[in-house]
Structure 1
């Protein structure tokens, strides 16, 4: 087994090397699982007891090392507010949960291999893997950061066809090439030829390079529709751990306005400010926001820009006479909901809000609320609220007076391809990401978050404007190129003329079709596992 564990670690190392933020190494993902597949096949064909258990823990080793090496920054984010040992225990949830699901996919693959041939079993493995990824973007512990298709974010020239498939196309591509490469290697090593080696090599190379060729042609030939709009993004650089200790909300607002003015042009249409940029102690009552001095100051600022709008993060709340939502809690004679929100202010009396929907498990919502209700006071200690934040149930496009629609995605939401596509399907002509990446400090977390935004631009063929408080702000065009970006941990503002787009891509219209096919394949595979047959390992 020692050799198999070493192979598992080799896979983890290759997958880590191929993962963002390491530039131009994404092609390594196309062979990253080959050593693990060899280890699994060694166990299947070897003289071992409890083969299923050994395969599970071998696959878990790969997933755990790769996952932890890629998202180590989760520990950094928690360690700033909690004792190190508690932070480590909490970090073990994202470090270990996805690898457990990955290992389960391999364990089910082994169950299929006991009764099915290797071709059918590999279809099952890919289906189980896609099923794991889909689960990990939909349940209460959702954290789709390590979805395989995200791995090409730093080499976006290779995956322009995400405008058709989304990231699950990348997942499927990675698995097809890995499986073909494994089969070629296995036959070569063991001097067997169940399939023609020449044909297998040709198919493997075609599977690897044809998508690249198609993508490069798309990248070179794609032309944006000309529909210009002038946008400003602002990075105020307020330390999130010292937000009210080092600067007052009024001082923060003046800082935002001054940075905006430093690059604004008379025809600027959007000023985009980061997550929670507009704040007050205790939050801002959405119903009464027009009566706050901060609202009057923003309207006064916008008076110099005829078509100007401010799209900003805001810490807000709503009051109800009765509990209207599951997250509302008693507040005197009323009920209150707190929100991590975005708002669009256009200089008129109209106000638009969107409440962040994809909430961070534990920090912004209690996962499986009724079951883990007892943990709410604990989660409050690292950024959450005792009842969890309220949220909108679906994406909401915010519109300027001129009719321009923007997708106001907030932080974590930008890693959901299907969710961002819903904004675009509802009329968003460009995507805004308002975030605060300072929680992760100067780690690869901020770089991965920026890189993943390129995938959303490609999937929907929309410009993306990113305003990060202490992360990296910038602009991404419809091909996924970063046209401008700020440095880390510096106050800055950037302006860019972008092209609005009304065209709808195949992915925007139809979403994650590959994921749905994978789920069907998973159901088929589960049924096949329980069909009695003679043992068939080949």
Structure 2
């Protein structure tokens, strides 16, 4: 019993280590203890799989409970379903058709369920396996071709090869296969990382981190005048040639009618500030906006002219910003408590202004979604967020690291404003060039390069996930036909 518990929890720990800041390499052997346990034909194997995956999720993402206690239950339960189910599909096949077919089912089923968890209403792709290398971006520069689903494929096959090596420890063939599978992409990535050169097309950015506690500071919710003064004071530290001043999600408190945005006094104050100090610059800040039908978590572009541009966040956080499958879960809506809870609007397409796009908070977790800004012409990306909701935990570190992956996938520089957490400037290799850490108020001034070229991943997005669904369907059909033939 102790051996079974140990093997299960060892998989939990090895899977969690990348999200705890120990680097992505642990993921390439993380499933080996669980596969060893399976090889011993444990009758209650499904329970040990559940223990392993539940432990991984809790170790990696327990911090979601800081903002809402419901998430402490919802994230592991739903996440467990989308990870346990593909593993048990593989286990069912493994017991009846060992060999290559079982391995193909494991890889394609896992990727298919990751894709399902990414693209449906109930979505939390935070722990997709390909994200394990988010803090080891030098090793996955090839994500510009595959995205994170390529990383998931790489990790799963590496685990299979590592398990095969464990079974035949003296096999030169097994050693060579594992070395080639892990080593070749790593060497390619390292060479790409060292040799990648950004084209000179400089833009000056100022990233503002106001560091206002959303739980205890009245300014965040109620005092627009004080918040405006703070933002302007910090923005005064920008250089005279600044092009963009980027502030966080919900930087402006209150609600703003979109039809009247140019007439709001606070908008006029920002415009006048720019005319006097930075006539060529543009402010980008977060606010809640309304039209005749909906209210939105928005990013707003304001320059020294009368023009005001707005983008609406469209990947929403379940519960606080949207109700999944509203035709089914409409009864969960809590309009009687707040008119602005679980009921935010979205827009059908990404929007780009002045060759820039702004991913708002949770949107930066979605690779293919992020590429839609590039499709619309974004040559520079902003990420505006408020990571203070999660407290001083691993949550804001993980969130920053996903922006690093987006930079690699799209080869776009990113200016990230986080209220508090980690505001940063990220280059096109995914390096954090400069940052402002937790509980610090200030600005980051820096130069980034525009890039108009599109990567393979931008063009073809999650093709690996689509192929996996197709191959899984064929594999399961073949397996079903094999069982029928065997019975006959």
TM normalised by structure 2 equals 0.95
Question: Residues 272 and 439 from structure 1, CA distance in 2 versus in 1: closer, same or farther, beyond 3 angstroms?
Answer: same
Q: 2:348 aligns with which of 393, 400, 410?
A: 393
Cα separation, 1, equivalents of 2:369 and 2:158: 28
Are 1:347 and 2:304 an aligned pair? Answer: yes
- The match for 1:28 is 26
Q: What residue is the counterpart of 2:473 in the other structure?
A: 523
Alignment of 1:63 with 2:53, yes or no, is yes
Task: Indicate the residue corresponding to 1:16 in structure 2.
Answer: 16
Q: How many Å separate the matches in 2 of 1:363 and 1:180?
A: 42
Q: CA deviation at 1:140?
A: 1.1
Give the equivalent residue in structure 2 for 1:182. 163
Q: Does 1:493 align with 2:483?
A: no
Q: 2:260 aligns with which of 288, 291, 300?
A: 288
> Helix, strand or coil for the counterpart of 2:35?
helix
Task: Give me the whole-angstrom Cα distance separating, in 2, the residues matched to 1:123 and 1:477.
Answer: 36
CA contact (8 A) 2:168 2:174 kept: no
- 1:448 and 2:398 correspond: yes
SS in 1 for 2:333: helix
Question: What's 2:206 paired with?
Answer: 232
* 1:109-188 → structure 2 map (5 Å cutoff): 109-188=90-169
Q: What secondary structure, in the 3-state scheme, does the structure 2 residue paired with 1:154 have?
A: coil
Aligned counterparts of 2:476 and 2:382: Cα–Cα separation in 1 = 41
Q: 1:360 to 1:387 in 2, by over 3 A?
A: closer
Quickly say closer, same or farther: Cα 1:386–1:268, change in 2 above 3 A: closer
Q: In the aligned structure 2, how far is the partner of 1:112 from the partner of 1:486?
A: 50
Separation in 2 of the partners of 1:221 and 1:168? 24
CA-to-partner distance for each residue in 1:301-325, whole Å, 9 max, x for gaps? 1112232101111111112xxxxxx
Write out per-residue CA displacement over residues 357-398 of structure 1, whole angstroms, 9 at most, x where no aligned residue: 0000111001111211111128967xx835610011221112
Q: Distance in 2 between matches of 1:256 and 1:34?
A: 51
Using a 3 Å threshold, how does the CA distance of structure 1 residues 433 and 354 change in structure 2: closer, same or farther? same
> Given that residues 274 and 468 in structure 1 are in contact (C-alpha distance below 8 angstroms), is that contact kept between their aligned partners in structure 2?
yes
Deviation at 1:171, TM superposition (A): 0.5
Give the corresponding residue for 2:279. 306
Query: Is residue 2:330 matched to residue 1:373?
Result: yes
Question: Secondary structure of 1:359's match?
Answer: coil
Q: Write the distance in 2 (CA, Å) between the matches of 1:379 and 1:365.
A: 15
Question: Which consecutive residues of structure 2, in runs of 5 or more, have no partner in the other structure?
Answer: none
Report SS of the residue matched to 1:71: helix
Aligned partner of residue 135 in structure 1, secondary structure: helix
Q: CA RMSD in A?
A: 1.9
Partner of 1:84: none
Residues 396 and 423 in structure 1, CA contact (< 8 A), matched pair in contact too? yes
Query: Residue by residue, what CA displacement relative to the aligned partner does 1:395-424 show, whole Å, maximum 9, x if unpaired?
Result: 11122xxxxx11110000001010111111
Q: Is the CA contact (8 Å cut-off) linking 2:205 and 2:244 kept in structure 1?
A: yes
Distance, in Å, in 2 between the alignment partners of 1:370 and 1:210 is 48
Contact 1:432 1:464 in 2 (8 A): yes
Provide structure 1 residue ranges, at least 5 long, that are not aligned to the other structure.
Answer: 49-53, 79-86, 189-195, 320-335, 400-404
Note if contact 1:290-1:296 (Cα within 8 Å) is conserved in structure 2: yes
- TM-score, length-normalised on structure 1? 0.87
Q: Secondary structure at the match of 2:215?
A: helix
Q: Which residue of 2 aligns with 1:512?
A: 462
1:274-332 alpha-carbon deviations (Å, 9 max, x no partner): 0011232xx1101111111101101001112232101111111112xxxxxxxxxxxxx
Q: Distance in 1 between matches of 2:381 and 2:71?
A: 32
In the TM superposition, what is the alpha-carbon distance from 1:535 to its structure 2 partner? 10
